[in-house]
Structure 1
Amino acid sequence: MKLRKLAGTCDDGTCPNVYLSDRDTLVLQGDAVLTADGLAFGPGEQAVELSVDLVEEALRALGR
């Protein structure tokens, strides 16, 4: 899978970032959310936490 960075808080890839894949999907990198009210994980699923500002930046990069 090839990724193109849409938004992020650093350039070395070790902090929250949003990428667009060559499969036309988003890949999100952020702090792991292990437990939260109302959150249940299926097999192989994970959740990450991102700031609203970062998500808005990614949406702007997609022209939305």
Structure 2
Amino acid sequence: MIAGGPCRSGDDDKCGNGDCPTVYATPEPGMLAIQGYDVTHPTPKGESVVLIPEDILKEAARARGWL
């Protein structure tokens, strides 16, 4: 896990369910696995589009040394 995951406190639970969107490292170079919100958008078979809060992406970028 790079960023996100279980919320740290009641005030941190922006998702309202105790488990916020999460960015995960994968064994494949340059690839991140994203847990997020389902959206209605047509995608090719085996693909999906998810929304995650911008601050989670920024946290992941900092953790990877990109910012």
Residue in 1 that maps onto 2:32:
26
Deviation at 1:15, TM superposition (A): 2.7
Is the partner of 2:58 in helix, strand or coil?
A: helix
- Give the fraction of aligned pairs with identical amino acids, expressed as a percent: 35
TM-score for both structures, normalised by structure 2: 0.69
Report 1:20-59 matches (<5 A). 20-24=25-29, 25-35=31-41, 40-59=42-61
1: CA distance, partners of 2:32 / 2:55: 16
Over the aligned positions, Cα root-mean-square deviation in angstroms equals: 1.9
Q: Please tell me the residue identity of whatever aligns with 1:30.
A: G
Is the partner of 1:19 in helix, strand or coil?
A: strand
* Matched residue count: 55
1:8 maps onto 2:14 in alignment: no
Moved segments of 4+, more than 3 Å:
none
The answer for unaligned runs of 5 or more in structure 1 is none
